[in-house]
Amino acid sequence: MIIEAIYGAFGLMAGLDAKLLEIVCLSLQVSLSAVAIATALALPLGAAIAVSKFPGRQTLIVILNSLMGLPPVVVGLVVYLLLSRAGPLGQLGLLFTPSAMVIAQTILILPIIAALARQAVEDAWREYQEQLRSLGAGGWTAALTLVWDIRFSLLTAVLAGLGRACAEVGAVMIVGGNIDGVTRVMTTTIALETSKGDLPLALGLGVILVTLVLLLNAAAYTLKEAAQRRYG
Amino acid sequence: MDLRRRIVLAATLVAAALPLAAQEKFITVASTTSTEQSGLFKHLLPIFEQKTGIKVRVVALGTGQALDMGRRGDADVVFVHDPAAEKKFVDDGLGVNYKQVMYNDFVLIGPKSDPAKIAGGKDILGALKKVEGAKAPFVSRGDKSGTHAAELRYWKSAGIDIATQKGPWYKETGSGMGPALNTASSMGGYILADRGTWLSFKNRGDLAILVEGDQKLFNQYGIMLVNPAKHAHVKKDLGNAFINWVTSPEGQKAIAGYKIGGEQLFFPNYKGG
Amino acid sequence: MGDEPMRAPASILPLRLVDVSFAVNGKVIVDRVSCAVEPGPRTIILGPNGAGKSVLMRLCHGLLAPTSGRVEWASPERPGERRRQAMVFQRPVMLRRSALANIVYALRVAGVPAGERDGQALAALEGVGLAPLADRAARVLSGGEQQRLALARAWALRPEVLFLDEPTANLDPGASAEVERIIQAIHAAGTKIVMTTHNLGQARRLGDEILFLNQGCLAERAAVDRFFNQPASAEAQAFIKGELPWT
């Protein structure tokens, strides 16, 4: 059945089914937006924790690392309760829109990117610390310099976040409602087709999803290798 | 990239992610997974949208969750199939403009091998007694859906206290109709399903309809507007437009017109002016 | 520039170490060292491995805080102000950018205005003979080239004091000679040199005075000729003769 699914997948892609394109575009839009926002927030956060000393630092690191394992469905439920009309942010009318999905995914992947960034920056800090402090660069300056210097290694952290966002279904299902044409993405479509018993179609979509993520990762890896050769 | 530029970048992305002012008219309808998966909405909604220009966004959940959505004010219209729960919803002042729309029926599905020997029967209660007697595998949705509520009613009417009499043969999946059917298909179990989902279900395996046609298997659908007195933002005009269309001769005809493999799934039965 | 005469900022030298100790987990690495580091002579901190030379240097430069005692500069550095001391480490640490960009970075951190950075950086590269490699990625340069780059970076900052921690320990003789030549040039231009080494020949070539450290204590301090010809302490004598046990 898997081979059938792979052929089915290529058939779908070749046919450039309009509905499929809509779903794929929405999936990419939601997950890439979430990754962009989460990265902009998580990199400075992770870097700051890596280079600072403050009471409770170790506890914070443990909590941050644990949050990497936040169950998507729990995040979805919490965001749903916040955005529901009966909830505190109901006025915004964001529930069942792609924006709600972006918010939920951002919350989900922020700890992943921050925790991995913190580790990478801390490792680099060990190497660079004395030299940077000797030059008079401390605190924020040093953290941002490090982040920029190891930016291609941080790409790995960002990719981990992207992978999680593309793969999850629990959060987007609850806050998006899987509305046809509005909030239906690849993962929720796969869930729907599976529950309708249309397993070949679901598998085919699964193959497309995995291929997409593979391509994104391959592109990032090539970029990283090129940079490594250029900058050492 | 220094800090200031990062903040501007993040803010821009957040702004871009926020919804643009909704130019289109739309309503949010909370309905059930079985209704959506039957394909009815794909058939019905384009007709309505073309006539009125109102887009209908269907969030498909279990009946319990759909009613909860109505209670919270996250939907404009609720369209489910659990008359008892719907009545309570209206009595509690949460729903208005409540109308009966259509019915479909439940069928008892099971493996062709039929260990409980119920095939061809027209008596749902008798069939369930035989299933329990044979302790044959039975899949229940267990998710407070309309289908689940109906199933529990049938056990009770058959004189079986399922809560105490269930055993390892009774599997509660806590899931929608489709996943439950998948489970029944893979384990060769009996399951109560609505005809609509069954007709569009593709993973039948060894399953077939074994008992149907009993009057008791009648499954009534009702529609109502979430009470705007409780939730001021409810789109009352657009919502009522949908409710009134669905119960109008034109809407009722559209419902009857939905067929799978030549078979009609839903039978419109709105009575009233 | 106005007509007022430029007031030179007060010198940060002499540096006074008052009873400075440094211990980690109960192990004493620097043991009550007191001395004054005056402007002028090239100061070499000499001693066997494990004597505490690197730690002492880091205490002076401010990378470590003494567990007891005080490190006092004549004119204390305030945070946010341009640093007037620089350090070159045994292993140079370069950012993933071009050689020129590394120096420009240091100048930026030091507060040099944008328009002047490129010029000063290029001049520093020329001073160490690396101008042709200005656009090469710093981390792909050879060990010797990177160390010269580190010196150029430090020199571009025009520090009053330049600390060097065993700068040639990882280099081949050719590269070492180049580095020594540059250090001499920096000194000739007016910067105070404070360097650690365990290489006797290098100490003789580059030093004016020797601070001999042994097991964390300042065992002897003398002008370079006197130290090598007539070492006063028993430890110094043993070291010069090559008999000092590894600590």
Q: What count of other Cβ atoms lies within 10 Å of the Cβ of residue A18?
A: 8
Crossing angle of helices A2-15/A199-231, nearest 10°?
80
Query: DSSP code of C111?
Result: T
Question: Hey, which CATH number is domain B105-217, 3.90.1150.10, 3.30.70.270, 3.40.190.10, 3.30.980.10?
Answer: 3.40.190.10
- Residue C109 has a pLDDT of 93
How far, in whole angstroms, is CA B216 from its chain's centroid? 18
For the record, the structure tokens of C66 come out as: 């003494």
ipTM confidence score: 0.88
| Chain A partners within 8 Å of B73 (Cβ) | 84-86, 90
Q: What count of other Cβ atoms lies within 10 Å of the Cβ of residue C219?
A: 20
For the record, the structure tokens of B165 come out as: 């009499």
* Apex A59 CA angle, A55 and A134, nearest 5: 50
The rounded distance, in Å, linking the Cα atoms of A184 and C81 is: 56
For the record, the structure tokens of B118 come out as: 């119920």
- To the nearest 10°, the Cα dihedral for C230, C231, C233, C239? -140
| Interval C26-57: pLDDT, tens | 899 999 999 999 999 999 999 888 889 999 99
For the record, the structure tokens of C84 come out as: 């007037």
Residue entry with tokens 């007037």: C84
| Interval B111-154: pLDDT, tens | 999 999 998 888 999 999 999 999 999 999 998 877 888 899 99
- Residues of the domain holding C229: 15-240
A125 and chain C in contact, CB less than 8 A: no
- To the nearest 10°, the Cα dihedral for B182, B185, B189, B194? 60
A228 and chain C in contact, CB less than 8 A: no
- Residue B114 has a pLDDT of 92
Distances (CA, A) of A105 to A73, A108, A206, B223: 11, 5, 19, 33
Count H helices and E strands in chain A, helices first: 10, 0
Longest distance between any two alpha carbons in chain B, whole Å: 75
For the record, the structure tokens of B175 come out as: 């899931």
Pairing of strands C217-223, C209-214: antiparallel
Q: What count of other Cβ atoms lies within 10 Å of the Cβ of residue B182?
A: 22
A218 contact partners, CB below 8 Å, separation of at least 6 = none
The rounded distance, in Å, linking the Cα atoms of B127 and B130 is: 5
Residue C201 lies in a domain: yes
Residue C2 lies in a domain: no
Q: Which residues of chain C fall below pLDDT 50? A: 1-2, 247
Domain ranges in chain B? Answer: 3-103+220-268, 105-217
For the record, the structure tokens of B243 come out as: 């409710």
> Which parts of chain C fold into alpha helices (H)?
53-61, 99-109, 114-127, 143-156, 173-188, 200-206, 224-229, 234-240
CATH class of the domain whose range is B3-103+220-268 = alpha beta
Q: Which of A37, A84, A195 faces B74 most closely, judged by CB atoms?
A: A84
How far, in whole angstroms, is CA C162 from its chain's centroid? 4
> Which parts of B56-123 fold into alpha helices (H)?
63-72, 83-91
Residue C68 lies in a domain: yes
| Tally of domains in chain C | 1
The rounded distance, in Å, linking the Cα atoms of A196 and A184 is: 15
The rounded distance, in Å, linking the Cα atoms of B241 and C91 is: 77
Domains and CATH numbers, chain A: 2-231 (1.10.3720.10)
Q: What's the pTM?
A: 0.81
User: What subunits touch chain C, counting only 3 or more CB pairs under 8 A?
Assistant: A
Q: Which of A133, A145, A231 faces C137 most closely, judged by CB atoms?
A: A231
| Closest listed residue to residue A84, CA positions, set B60, B81, B85, B233 | B233
Q: Which residues of chain A fall below pLDDT 50? A: none
Closest residue of A to B58, CA-based? A179
Over the range B115-133, which residues count as b (16 or more CB within 10 Å of their CB) and which as e?
bbebbebeebbebbbbbbe
| Interval B183-221: pLDDT, tens | 999 999 999 998 878 887 888 889 999 998 888 888 889
| pLDDT > 90 fraction of chain B, expressed in percent and rounded | 59
The rounded distance, in Å, linking the Cα atoms of A86 and A104 is: 18
Q: Which residues numbered 104-143 in A keep a CB inside 8 Å of some CB on B?
A: 140
| Interval B219-266: pLDDT, tens | 889 999 999 999 999 999 999 999 999 999 999 999 999 998 888 889
The rounded distance, in Å, linking the Cα atoms of A129 and A72 is: 37
The rounded distance, in Å, linking the Cα atoms of A137 and A129 is: 9
| Chain A partners within 8 Å of C137 (Cβ) | 230-232
* Apex B199 CA angle, B198 and B203, nearest 5: 65
Partner-chain contact A137 C97, CB within 8 Å: no
The rounded distance, in Å, linking the Cα atoms of C132 and B23 is: 61
- Residue C214: give its domain's CATH number: 3.40.50.300
C111–chain A nearest CA distance, Å? 10
